[in-house]
Structure 1
């Protein structure tokens, strides 16, 4: 395969991805106008439903504009060999492969993030603000961005540096060693995410004594779930949207409830949400998801090892010589169809896990407060009640609200 053929293949994949996602988005946008299913009646009143339609329309149009501009920029960079030109510039500044690769990825990251900054600002301070979701101040937005850049510079720089060093030391087997590094990093992040990462952006406060803590403690003891770490996160400093999540492993496991979730739901609903999260733990979904993610990374790294030294791949993106960082970038584009298929399979598994966690919550607690909680979450987030099945199949990590409710109603 010639370098020209590889370039056309990459451009073809880029165009296909864009068209594929646009078609799914259009189908989903049209689907939201369908009549509300009987099982979902009462979630919105007439005014709220009209507001949800306006919100989803605004998000769809904004996403269409931003993704189209990103697509156009990417096509231009591929067609005019901008990546190859950038490679030549960083090599002139830093002829050592190690430094040129760091500069190359660093420039691309910061350039992409800065170009996307107007869209981030508009999405947060115009769309989310208009519909009453945004609670982020300009100060918080700026600090979040600076902290994100600093973390990327430090952590991302170390990861990229380790990768480059392994490629230099073990050209044929680097993927095995970096796979080990990636696996260890994933486990580390999962174990210490709430302890090390979240405090950089949010405040975690132990849930205070009271009837809610008593109800949660009673339930956890009932199902044999050792839980001493229940935290409340100040999600309201950025958005009025609510959430809850389970983090870390073994004795360090923690349940984190958004303060907005506590404000918007009854104690029974909150315990039902917790029961769902406990279901994930009891069914070992977190462990198996991590194992599959590690396997996926290993497969991807092995495929990358087949292309990382290819001169033709470098030339395809406009480089004048074989370039490791150019080849990594090209691989990301070539891997896109495989990544899409893997993503669909992972979403299938994730939706299966959600059904199982719902069933666990129904059997060990009660279906009514969980259904009520899910309906409230959808209403307060102005969610789509009738997403298109194809869009759900490809993009949803959770079943649609209708699917979840109907499945819970069938649990004996």
Structure 2
């Protein structure tokens, strides 16, 4: 494929991706609110539905604006060859091709993030603030940005440097070596995320002794699940939204409960949420998810290897000669349709896993408190109770609330502990 054809292929893929995403967003926001389901009648009233609709509309308009700006900037950078102009400018300061690539990609990353900061600020301190979700201060917001940059430079920059070294030394064979390094890195992050990375942004404290901890330990013993590390995360430092998750493997596994989750739910509901998370562990969803993620990285790297030294790709982005960093940028656009398809597949698996984890919680504890917890979470976060099926198919990693409640509330058992 010659340079012009490749250039317009990139522009076509970019345009299709933008139109596809915004069409799904439009279908979803145009979806009628519908009647309040009977199962939610005690939790939701017409005023709450109107508020949830207003929140969805505000996020839709914001996403339309930011998505359009991002699309137009990227389109112009490709069409007018600005990516190549930046490459030509940096060559006046840096001769080593590997360091040129490191600096170039760093400039692109930091530049795009700096453009995004005002929009992130608006979303946090205007939209999230308006609907009562934001608890972050301006100091926390900018501190998170600074910490994120530092972490990106140390971790992301280190990985990028290794990748580029392998590309320059091994040619197309770099992909399987970096694949192995990426796999080890993923395992490392899973093991040490809560110990090394999470504390940079949040404070973790052991769950204090009391009724909740006793019920959690009692339930864990009932399902033969070794559980010693239960921590509370200060999520209220940034948002009123709640969450819980598992991290780590083997003896390093930890349960993280947001303080907002503890504030908003009863002990039975919290144990049910934990039972759901243990269900993921028992069903080996965490392990299979990691393996699938590693496989996806291998596919990505293999395809990247086929384009990494393609001179026409660099020229299509406005370069005057072959540049690995330009080819990496071109590849991210070229790979985006495949990434979308892989994402849909991952979401299909994820929704199946969520149903299985719900079933585990229902069988080993009870479906009723988990259903109550899901209702509270959904109402408190103003989630969409009637999303468009196509939007769910493409974007949802969790089944819609009503689908989960339908299974949980059928012949529900009482709590076992």
TM norm structure 2? 0.97
Query: CA distance change for structure 1 residues 96 and 411 in 2, over 3 Å: closer, same or farther?
Result: farther
1:132-185 Cα offsets, whole Å, 9 max, x none, are 110000111111010001111111111110001001110021001100110000
Following TM superposition, by how much is the alpha carbon of 1:410 offset from its aligned partner in structure 2, in angstroms? 4.5
Partner of 2:72: 72
Query: What is the 5 A alignment of 1:49-128?
Result: 49-128=49-128
In structure 2, C-alpha distance between the alignment counterparts of 1:147 and 1:32, rounded to whole Å? 41
- Deviation per CA, 1:169-213: give whole Å up to 9, x if none: 100210011001100000000000100011000000000000000
1:57 to partner: Cα distance: 1.0
Q: What is residue 376 of structure 1 aligned with on the other side?
A: 376
Output the CA distance in 2 between the equivalents of 1:86 and 1:373.
51
Q: Secondary structure at the match of 2:30?
A: helix
Could you list the runs of 5+ residues in structure 2 that have no partner in the other structure? 413-417
Is residue 385 from structure 1 mapped to residue 372 from structure 2 by the alignment?
no
> Which residue in the other structure is 1:144 paired with?
144
Moved more, 26-35 or 60-69: 26-35
In the alignment, the residues of structure 2 paired with residue 354 and residue 240 of structure 1 have an alpha-carbon distance, to the nearest angstrom, of: 23
Q: CA deviation at 1:222?
A: 0.4
Structure 1 residue 54: Cα displacement: 1.2
| 2:415 alignment partner in structure 1 | none
| Residue correspondence of structure 1 range 153-192 to structure 2 within 5 A | 153-192=153-192
Do the aligned partners of 2:52 and 2:382 also contact (CA within 8 Å) in 1?
A: yes
Cross-structure match for 1:286: 286
Asked if the contact 1:311/1:322 (under 8 Å) is kept, the reply is yes
Correspondence list, 1:324-363, <5 A:
324-363=324-363
Structure 1 residue 23 corresponds to structure 2 residue 2: no
Q: Where do residues 301-340 of structure 1 align in structure 2 (5 Å cutoff)?
A: 301-340=301-340
State the alpha-carbon separation in 2 of the partners of residues 208 and 350 from structure 1. 32
Q: TM-score, normalised by structure 1?
A: 0.98
SS class of match (2:355): helix
State yes or no: 1:404 paired with 2:380: no
**Residues 406 and 337 from structure 1, CA distance in 2 versus in 1: closer, same or farther, beyond 3 angstroms?**
same
| Aligned residue number for residue 297 of structure 1 | 297
Q: Is the 8 A contact 1:359 1:411 kept in 2?
A: no
Tell whether the 8 Å contact from 1:32 to 1:384 is kept in structure 2 after alignment: no
Deviation at 1:411, TM superposition (A): 6.8
CA distance in 2, matches of 1:226, 1:32: 46
Partner of 1:265: 265
Partner deviation per Cα, 1:330-366 (whole Å, 9 max, x = no partner):
0110001100000000000000000000000000000
Deviation at 1:37, TM superposition (A): 3.6
Which residue of the partner structure matches residue 132 of structure 1? 132
Per-residue CA shift, 1:306-345, capped at 9, x if unaligned?
Answer: 0101111111111000111100110110001100000000
For 1:308 and 1:285, locate their aligned partners in 2 and report how far apart those are by CA, in whole Å.
Answer: 34
Q: Which residue of the partner structure matches residue 214 of structure 1?
A: 214
Matches of residues 207-246 of structure 1 in structure 2 within 5 Å? 207-246=207-246
> Contact conserved, 1:242 with 1:260, CA < 8 A, in 2?
yes
SS at match of 2:239: coil
Q: CA deviation at 1:35?
A: 2.9
What is the distance in 2 between the residues matched to 1:410 and 1:47? 28
- C-alpha distance after superposition, 1:100-140 (max 9, x if no partner): 10111111011101100110010000010111110000111
Q: Distance in 1 between matches of 2:76 and 2:260?
A: 43
Q: CA deviation at 1:55?
A: 1.1
Contact 1:32 1:53 in 2 (8 A): no
Q: Work out the number of aligned pairs and report it.
A: 412
- Name the CA distance, whole Å, in 1 between partners of 2:11 and 2:385: 36
2:232 aligned counterpart, secondary structure? strand
In 2: Cα distance, 1:132 partner to 1:240 partner: 8
Deviation at 1:38, TM superposition (A): 3.7
